[in-house]
Amino acid sequence: MTILHLRHIPGSRSVRILWLLEEVGCDYRLEIMKEDRSLYDVLCPVARVPALRDGEVTMHETGAMTEWICETRSPHLGRSPDSAGRAGWLDWLHFGETLLTHVIAARFRNPVPSPTASSSDEMIRLEHGFDLLEDWLGESNWLLSDFSGVDCHVGYSLWIASQVMELDPYPVLQAFLTRCSTRKAFQRASLLTGGTWK
């Protein structure tokens, strides 16, 4: 197999992929992009970061990267198209991006409380996402029966949320984040980019 090449900005969505690569344990080349950007700019980069290259294949969406890596390097962290858990795996994969979108909308687009309905609606959507996740994780340590690539995907979104807002009302989500951050692969990935993920 070819060696994967990940272009990464610390703190950006590519955290998901760096963490996943450490979980898989496959060979990869890491290119750290040291750009001075605000957190919002890092979340929405314009310089085609993140990027994952696998031979002639290049991807820029972390959901697609997660699927690709699991399918080509670590099937046990994904769910094959013919498996019973495939629909749930895909649902949580895309939920991770939806949750992050709600975090950005609620926290960054309206950093100062506004009397407009849209700001309130954005917070309500985010709270509904947290509630759904909290209810689901109340019965399990991980989103599926065992740790999988979707835990990296959703775990990153919660990590970003914890950097910009209080998660005290959600003890189950805090416990999930603790389980994520104490995984050896997460810690190795954190050390590769300066140990800044807490």
Residue 131, pLDDT > 80, answer yes
What mean pLDDT do residues 91-113 have? 81
Q: List the Cα angle 68/70/76 in 5-degree steps.
A: 160
- What is the C-alpha to C-alpha distance for residues 74 and 77, in angstroms, rounded to an integer? 6
Q: What is the pTM of this model?
A: 0.86
Residue 38, pLDDT > 60, answer no
List the beta strands (DSSP E) in 33-190.
51-54, 57-59
Residue 145, pLDDT > 90, answer no
Percentage, residues of the chain above pLDDT 70: 83
**How do beta strands 28-32 and 57-59 pair?**
unpaired
Give the pair of three-digit tokens for residue 190. Answer: 């954190």
Instruction: Assign 2 a pLDDT band (cuts: 50, 70, 90).
Output: very high
| Predicted pLDDT of residue 179 | 96
Instruction: Assign 166 a pLDDT band (cuts: 50, 70, 90).
Output: confident
Identify which has the larger pLDDT, 197 or 170: 170
